[in-house]
Structure 1
């Protein structure tokens, strides 16, 4: 029997996880059954269980992917932001998050993850770790802007979480009110913190 490549396994796992995400967005975490995922993915139970032993494992994988997506977007915005003001970097972050939401319903999943983290300690811990990492990334940018004389605010480690708190408000508004409701957010952060 021919060996299955790692790429094939990764693709299968991603396809199943995408199907689970669609089910979760449509029905919520707790109203989605494994049968829903089998049907949505077009896979047998055995094929799905090979990659995810339970629905809870899919929830954690979906949450982890969402957190990693947001963290990746922030890191890319911060890395590209060297020498730029806080407003343009935050605007780039919001634009990228909105684009990911259009593709994968990132904001809707974020709301479900936040809710689920109130009852799932492991997920809450993962969320806290992600927020701490994103705050640290943003603090690096704040420090850089302070050293350049562009920002006279307080300690970077205290300012960064305040700036990061814009993101949950953006995600909440995007999930509940849609893309048109947040279309002005990037320009607003540019105006608040010009380059």
Structure 2
């Protein structure tokens, strides 16, 4: 099974590198997910959300002057993904978009337990709000929100790590496979850039400020 899986992912990587449009790359990615998780109904439902969630409207994105509406390329469950054709060229834009979408969700009462990902389908960068701003998210505009990359969680697909990519996808998008507890994963799950820390920090700050 792992050999077939690796072949699918290697074929996917080659197709992505040959494609030059974001929409074409997105279709290649969806096709990979359908092939990897064929027959798994619950995951197929998530894939449908990814497919159907493109350009979903998000209200209350705070900008410099007024509130706007925006659209995230993919928004489902507690994950926001901003897809770009090439992060080397438009990575800054993707990061700014994620900041706006995150604040839009937060200000709409959706909380702050989000996984924020920018991707060009080869490189996948995971971001979290800067810890120094966690107690003032309500007052920030997207140009002021600092998002820090969680480098230990980010991933770049190569010809030598297709198996790792499968487990990365599963971990961040589907969370189906049990993962071995390593120091790196514990830090990502509970460290200062984790959703657990962010939620706990904000609750404690709110309590002591009463």
TM interval, short-chain normalised: under 0.3
TM-score (normalizing by structure 2)? 0.26
Structure possessing the higher relative contact order (Cα contacts under 8 Å, 6 or more residues apart):
1
TM-score, normalised to structure 1, is 0.27
Bigger strand share: 2
Larger Rg over CA atoms:
1
More helix by share: 1
